[in-house]
Amino acid sequence: MITFAGAGPGAEDLITVRGQRLLQEADIVIYAGSLVNPGLLSLCREDCRVYNSAVMTLEEVLDVMTAGHEEGKQIVRLHTGDPCLYSAIREQMDALKERNIPYEVCPGVSSFCGAAAALEAEYTLPGISQSVVITRMAGRTPVPDKESIASFASHQATMVVFLSTGMLRELSAELIRGGYPADTPAAVVYKATWPEEKVLRCTVETLEETAGRENVTKTALIVVGRILGDGYERSRLYDPSFATEFRRASHPKAPVSGQNDD
């Protein structure tokens, strides 16, 4: 069996219990060496064969998986954060499907969650934003035209921008062009949850100079939105006057539908 597993955002103890067990039992591990914390590999058995996919092509990864499968080995493909974001697992899964090789996916803690923890932020604040846009600037991987940063910025919802630390001047310009006021709170979170984590608070306009001052050029997320500011409304869910499926209102008012998230 091949398992695609999320390694978590960085800290070694932020892998899931299941991911940890998979690593302990694996015969073969192929890990994304550019971002996965190599400390996680100390969970592997001495005789586990370990490959760093940073120096491999898709074909080479598939060859290791196929040969390992034919030998009946337990294989873990370890991706940073959660494998559902910017990990290129779909092409691996489709190739395995074609070869009739079974696989499954074990989730992980994405770096956008690690960054929220580092910022002590709630991305969805009542009265401010109830949506999170996860996106990136176009780099060597193009972004479809209809998903421009400016078009998302026009909603002024919370945004978490991956893979764009080298393009902060352009990112600021696009965010402002789309409708974020230049003084909207923003942050650069470098290596969230790693020991060398840096949390740099700034505004949409000052992203580039803020990252530059701390020499942050990669492995960072840009978080943008008024959720990083001070104002918001208190939740309905925990309001004494608000009845839920689980709790009676102490001063009943008409319940508001569709607000439950607990």
Residue 37 engages ligand SAH in binding (rule: CB under 6 A): no
Q: Where are the alpha helices (DSSP H) in the chain?
A: 17-25, 58-70, 89-98, 111-119, 149-153, 168-178, 207-213
Q: Please, which residue, 92 or 219, has the CB nearer to ligand SAH?
A: 219
CB 76 within 8 A of CB 55: no
**Hey, is 237 helix, strand or coil?**
coil
Name which of 51 and 112 has its Cβ closer to ligand SAH: 112
Torsion angle (degrees, nearest 10) of CA 156, 160, 166, 168? 20
Measured CA to CA, the distance from residue 170 to residue 185 in angstroms comes to 17
- Whose CB is nearest to ligand SAH? 81
Member of 76, 106, 115, 159 binding ligand SAH (CB under 6 A): 115
Stretch that binds ligand SAH, among 64-72, 75-83, 223-231, 246-254 (CB under 6 A): 75-83
Least Å distance, CB 82 to ligand SAH, is 4
Residue 81 found at the interface with ligand SAH (CB under 6 A): yes
Number of amino acids touching ligand SAH (CB under 6 A): 24
Candidates 120-128, 146-154, 179-187, 188-196 — which segment interacts with ligand SAH by CB under 6 A?
188-196
> Which pair of tokens denotes residue 148?
């421009």
Q: Does 156 bind ligand SAH (CB under 6 A)?
A: no
To ligand SAH, the closest distance from the beta carbon of 70 in angstroms equals: 29
d(CA 206, CA 185) in angstroms, rounded, equals: 10
| C-alpha torsion 139→219→54→42, nearest 10 | -160
Distance of alpha carbon 241 from alpha carbon 239, whole angstroms = 5
Question: Smallest gap, in angstroms, from Cβ of residue 24 to ligand SAH?
Answer: 22
CB of 187 to ligand SAH, least distance (A): 11
For 210-244, give one letter per residue: b (16+ CB within 10 A) or e.
bbeeeebeebbbbbbbbbbeeeeeeebeebeebbb
Contact between 8 and ligand SAH (CB under 6 A)?
no
188 binds ligand SAH (CB under 6 A): no
Residue 138 vs 249, nearer CB to ligand SAH: 138
Residue closer to ligand SAH, measured from CB, 111 or 210:
111
Is residue 152 close enough to count as binding ligand SAH by CB under 6 A?
no
Q: Determine which residue in the list 3, 53, 80, 172 makes contact with ligand SAH, applying CB under 6 A.
A: 80
Cα distance between residue 225 and residue 65, in whole Å: 42
Minimum separation from the CB atom of position 173 to ligand SAH (A): 19
CB 195 within 8 A of CB 89: no
Check residue 220 for interaction with ligand SAH (CB under 6 A): yes
Q: Is 110 in the site for ligand SAH (CB under 6 A)?
A: yes
